[in-house]
Structure 1
Amino acid sequence: MEITTKNFSEQLDDITKNLKRSCFVGFDAEFSAILSGETFKHRLFDSNEERYDKLKSKVNQMIMTQIGLTMFQYNRDIDTYNAVCYTFHLCPQVFGDIDQSFIFQASTVKFLCRHNFDFNKFTYFGLPYLSKAEEEVIKQQLEDNTLFQNLSRSLEIEDERLLQSCCSEVSKWLSNSEEGTLYLDIKNPVLRYITHNEIRMRFPGVLTTDSLGNSNKVLIYRDKLVEGANSAPKTVLEENLKAHLLGFSQIIDLLASYKKPIIGHNIFLDTILLHNQFIGPLPNKYSTFKKNIHELFPNIYDTKYISHEMAKMLTFDEVWKSNALQDLYEFFSERKCKKLEQGVNPIRLSIPFAVKQSYHEAGWDSYCSGYCFIRLGHWAACVISGKNRPVGPRETLAAMSPYCNRANTIRGAMPYVNFIGEDPKSHRPNVLHIKALKDRVINVGQVASTLANFGNIDIKPYGSRTALIATSTQYTADKILKQFKNSREYRISEFSVYKHSVASRVAMWSGAILTGSLMLYFFHRKMK
């Protein structure tokens, strides 16, 4: 089901109930930009902290335009999972001092068009949201009684005219009519809040409240003597305003409150954007970022990482050829490995997707992530028990616990991000050091071309005549070392800090010179 400003309020109760009944939640997001360019190229050298530092400066300009959530509920009587899927359309908002911004890359727009992204739903009906930091700003302004003044000052001309028109209508009604009530139709929730306050300030005798059954209408009573007359408390008006401004952030709060396990595919970048969009600006420290994410979502599972690890349990003929989300989902849904399909739990969608479902639609991808997680969890649980049979969510989560809070790292020095402790050590071979023997300046591009046939490598300069080489496997590193053992063009060896670091060489020579100087000094004194 697609959720926009048109149906969010009426669907919120059902979303809350479905979330509460779920055993875990599939998650996916679509972004307004794609990280590209040399600066953001994934390199074998990168530690997770270095990767985070590269990303945090860029994602300030990115937002999640779509978030997909699939709530998987378990029917124990028939050992079946029921999947309730939502696609939430999001759009930044301007509110008083808060003016959320983002960029749309041309390449991203082209990509989204190719996958039938609906820009009208994004711009006209996208849900608002606030980060925790922005929410605190609004709470403080409410406490200081400055929010109304700030909003009034920032009104656009059309809204200012509408507000003045409403006040004129109230004035005429009070002067020329004996009717006890008046209705004003104001669709914008922010302007509706301002109108309540403005009318109460200009006409102290009247009472205002929201019309029952129609949230767009402001109901005005002439005075307290009118039958049924009451004035909505200030706190109620403020809560209504905050509920509108929070928008999708209410769903994030529900996810955090219920502490449901979150299932994603290649979820590291998603967590960085989640922090920036719903917690606040990314912290300078990578460890603080991990701590904040873990406090928000204490149980995260990444099917990209899990499938990479569990693939080692299958033979070449049995295993999926790629663990990209589409390939992994089709591997399980099309039952391509029969031995993994024995005793599996049926998974049913409560509302079927369209026949031509796009894989880059957030709701569908969130369903695929959860589907793959259930299949992987079933397999892991059956291996532990030694029986191929239906498996419930508790047993699934217990079997998948070794993979909890570990997010895949794309082409980095470390295999995963650990949200609850120290990251693992590098799983790559030792870095190689290369020195040009003939040229005074090493040509990194030429070196890369020369070594391209040896396997997956990355190269970065390390001096005028030297560079460092990172390889994906020890096999690749050994081939390079063997091939260039007697080369007259390059000298290649395993990198050593003491041998190859400029600072270490300076320190050694400085130590040698100092030692030699002291020896000469004492020898000279002795001769005297």
Structure 2
Amino acid sequence: MEITRKNFSEQIDNITKNLQRSCFVGFDAEFTAILSGDGFKYRLFDTNKDRYDLTKNEVNKMIMTQVGLTMFQYERKLDNYIAVGYTFHLCPQNLGDIDQSFIFQASTLKFLCKHNFDFNKFIYEGIPYLSRHEENTIRQQIQNKTLNSNLIQKMELQDEKQLQKYCSEVSRWLNNGDGDTLYLDVESPVLRYVVHNEIRLRFPDVLTTDSLGNSNKVLIYRDKNVEGANSAPMATLEENLMNNILGFSQIINLLVEYKKPIVGHNLFLDVLLLHSQFIGPLPKKYSLFKKNVNSLWPMIYDTKHISHEMNRKLSVSEVWKSNSLQDLYEFFSEAKCKRLEKGINFIKLSSPFNVKQTYHEAGWDSYCAGYCFIRLGHWAACETSGSYKPVGPKEKLAALEVYCNKINVIRGAVPYMNLVSDDPPSHRPALLHIKSMKERMIDIAKISSVIESPGSVDIKRYGNRTAIIAAGTRITADKILKQFKHDRDYRIAPYSFVKHSPIGRAAIWSSAIITGSLLLYFLHRKVNK
């Protein structure tokens, strides 16, 4: 189901109930930009801290335009899963001092157009949201009783004219004595909050409340002492406003409250955006970022990482094409692995996301990620027990616990980010050091073209005549060493901090000088005794 600004409030109770019933939640998102260019090229040298430091400032400029959530509910009697899926359309908002901004990358626009992204829903029907940092700012203004004045001060001219029109209408009504009640139709929840405050301030003898059955109507009584009527408490008006401007952040808060396992595919950038968009600006320290995410969502599973690890158990004849989400989903949904035919659960999508159910629609991708998670969990649980038979969600989660909170890292020094502990050591071979014997300034492009690599290689300058090579595999590193073994133009060897680092060499010389000086000092003392 598609959720926009128009149907969000009427669907939030159903969304909450479905989330409560779920055993885990599939997650996916579409972004306004993808980090690209030489400055953001993923390199085999990168530690996760390097990758985080490189991207954190740019990620703060991006937003999720679409979030897909699929709630997977287990039917114990039938041993089946019911998948209830939602595609949420989001859009930033302008509210008093808060003016949310973002970049939209041309290449991302092209990609979204290719996959029929609905920009009208994004702009005209997108659900608002606030980060926790922004929410705290608004709540502090409510506490200080400065919110109304801040909203009026930052109000657009059109809204300011509309506010004056409402106040003039109330003034005329009071002067003409026409009826005991007046209804004002105020569609904007922010303007509605301001209207309540302004009318109470300008006309202290009237009573204002929300009209029952129509949340857009402001009901005004001429006599504040009218029997059976009460002014809406300011706390109620403030809470109604907060619910409207929090928007999708209410769903994020539900995910935090219920602590359901979250399942996605290739989640590194998604997790960064979850923090920047719904918690607050990414912290300077990588360790604090991980701590923040884990404290809110303590169980996150990345099917990209899980499938990469479990791929080792497949034979050549049954391996999937790749562990992209589409290839992985089609591998399982088309029953291409014979060993997984026994005891697997039937998975029913309760309602389609749209007619075509295309990839790169956030809702559909969230369903695919959850579907793959169920199949991977069944496989892992059966491997643990030694027999292929029906298994429930608890057994699946237990079998996949070893992969919990490990987020796949593309083309880096380590295979994954660990949200609850130290990241793993590098799984790449040792670095190689290359020195030009003839050039006064080493040519990186030339070296790249000369290396006959059978796999991934990254090269970066290390000095005027030297560079460091990172190879994706041990086979690749060995082939490069063999290729340059007798080369006259370049000398290549496994990198050694002591031999090749200026700091390492300086440390050795410093140590030698200090040791020599101490030796001479003691010899001098001995001679003079």
Whether TM-score is above 0.5 comes out as yes
Does 1:176 pair with 2:172? no
- Report what 1:418 is aligned to: 418
Greater shift in the superposed pair: 324-333 or 169-178: 169-178
**Structure 1 residues 201 and 355: alpha-carbon distance in aligned structure 2, compared to 1, 3 A threshold:** closer
Deviation string 1:398-451 (CA, Å, 9 cap, x unpaired) is: 111010010000000001100001110000000010111111111111111111
Deviation of residue 517 (structure 1)? 6.2
Does 1:137 pair with 2:134? no
- Report what 2:281 is aligned to: 281
Deviation string 1:213-248 (CA, Å, 9 cap, x unpaired) is: 111110111113434321100000000000011000
Name the CA distance, whole Å, in 2 between partners of 1:150 and 1:355: 45
Deviation of residue 478 (structure 1)? 1.1
Equivalent residues in 2 for 1:142-221 (5 A)? 142-221=142-221
Name the CA distance, whole Å, in 1 between partners of 2:260 and 2:517: 68
SS, match of residue 492 in structure 2: strand
- Report what 1:82 is aligned to: 82
Does 1:73 pair with 2:73? yes
Name the CA distance, whole Å, in 2 between partners of 1:123 and 1:311: 41
- Report what 1:478 is aligned to: 478
Give, as a single letter, the amino acid of the residue that structure 2 aligns with 1:360: H
SS, match of residue 454 in structure 1: coil
Aligned residues: 528
Deviation of residue 479 (structure 1)? 1.2
Equivalent residues in 2 for 1:472-511 (5 A)? 472-511=472-511
- Report what 1:337 is aligned to: 337
SS, match of residue 505 in structure 1: helix
SS, match of residue 238 in structure 2: helix
- Report what 1:362 is aligned to: 362
Give, as a single letter, the amino acid of the residue that structure 1 aligns with 2:141: Q
Give, as a single letter, the amino acid of the residue that structure 2 aligns with 1:338: K
- Report what 2:434 is aligned to: 434
Contact in 2 for aligned 1:83/1:347 (Cα 8 Å):
yes
Greater shift in the superposed pair: 46-55 or 482-491: 482-491
Deviation of residue 511 (structure 1)? 4.0
Deviation string 1:149-169 (CA, Å, 9 cap, x unpaired) is: 101111111111111111111
Unpaired stretches in structure 1, ≥5 consecutive residues: none
Name the CA distance, whole Å, in 1 between partners of 2:358 and 2:174: 57
SS, match of residue 81 in structure 2: strand
Give, as a single letter, the amino acid of the residue that structure 2 aligns with 1:370: G
- Report what 2:443 is aligned to: 443
Contact in 2 for aligned 1:223/1:229 (Cα 8 Å):
no
Deviation of residue 178 (structure 1)? 3.9
Deviation of residue 357 (structure 1)? 2.2
Greater shift in the superposed pair: 452-461 or 124-133: 452-461
Does 1:29 pair with 2:22? no
Does 1:61 pair with 2:61? yes
SS, match of residue 315 in structure 1: coil
Contact in 2 for aligned 1:184/1:217 (Cα 8 Å):
yes
- Report what 2:303 is aligned to: 303
Deviation string 1:173-200 (CA, Å, 9 cap, x unpaired) is: 1111341111000000000000000000
Name the CA distance, whole Å, in 2 between partners of 1:224 and 1:66: 45
- Report what 1:403 is aligned to: 403
Name the CA distance, whole Å, in 2 between partners of 1:355 and 1:471: 45
Does 1:44 pair with 2:36? no
Deviation of residue 452 (structure 1)? 4.5
TM-score when normalising by structure 1: 0.97
- Report what 1:228 is aligned to: 228
Name the CA distance, whole Å, in 2 between partners of 1:278 and 1:354: 27
Contact in 2 for aligned 1:454/1:480 (Cα 8 Å):
no
Give, as a single letter, the amino acid of the residue that structure 2 aligns with 1:21: R
Deviation of residue 343 (structure 1)? 1.4
Give, as a single letter, the amino acid of the residue that structure 2 aligns with 1:245: I
SS, match of residue 468 in structure 1: strand
Contact in 2 for aligned 1:180/1:226 (Cα 8 Å):
no
Contact in 2 for aligned 1:461/1:468 (Cα 8 Å):
yes
SS, match of residue 215 in structure 2: coil
Deviation of residue 482 (structure 1)? 1.8
SS, match of residue 87 in structure 2: strand
Greater shift in the superposed pair: 215-224 or 401-410: 215-224
Deviation of residue 489 (structure 1)? 1.2
Name the CA distance, whole Å, in 2 between partners of 1:150 and 1:354: 41
**Structure 1 residues 293 and 523: alpha-carbon distance in aligned structure 2, compared to 1, 3 A threshold:** closer
Deviation of residue 121 (structure 1)? 0.6
Name the CA distance, whole Å, in 2 between partners of 1:217 and 1:441: 74
Deviation of residue 12 (structure 1)? 0.4
Greater shift in the superposed pair: 334-343 or 29-38: 334-343
Contact in 1 for aligned 2:266/2:407 (Cα 8 Å):
yes
Give, as a single letter, the amino acid of the residue that structure 2 aligns with 1:441: M
Contact in 1 for aligned 2:70/2:370 (Cα 8 Å):
yes
Contact in 1 for aligned 2:457/2:469 (Cα 8 Å):
yes
Equivalent residues in 2 for 1:88-103 (5 A)? 88-103=88-103
Deviation string 1:290-346 (CA, Å, 9 cap, x unpaired) is: 000001100000000000000101111111120000000011111111221221100
Deviation string 1:438-479 (CA, Å, 9 cap, x unpaired) is: 111111111111114332110000000000000111111111
Does 1:315 pair with 2:315? yes
SS, match of residue 469 in structure 2: strand
- Calculate the aligned-residue CA RMSD, in Å: 1.6
Contact in 1 for aligned 2:453/2:480 (Cα 8 Å):
no
Greater shift in the superposed pair: 19-28 or 174-183: 174-183
Name the CA distance, whole Å, in 2 between partners of 1:322 and 1:72: 25
Name the CA distance, whole Å, in 2 between partners of 1:439 and 1:513: 32
- Report what 1:375 is aligned to: 375
TM-score when normalising by structure 2: 0.97
Greater shift in the superposed pair: 387-396 or 359-368: 387-396
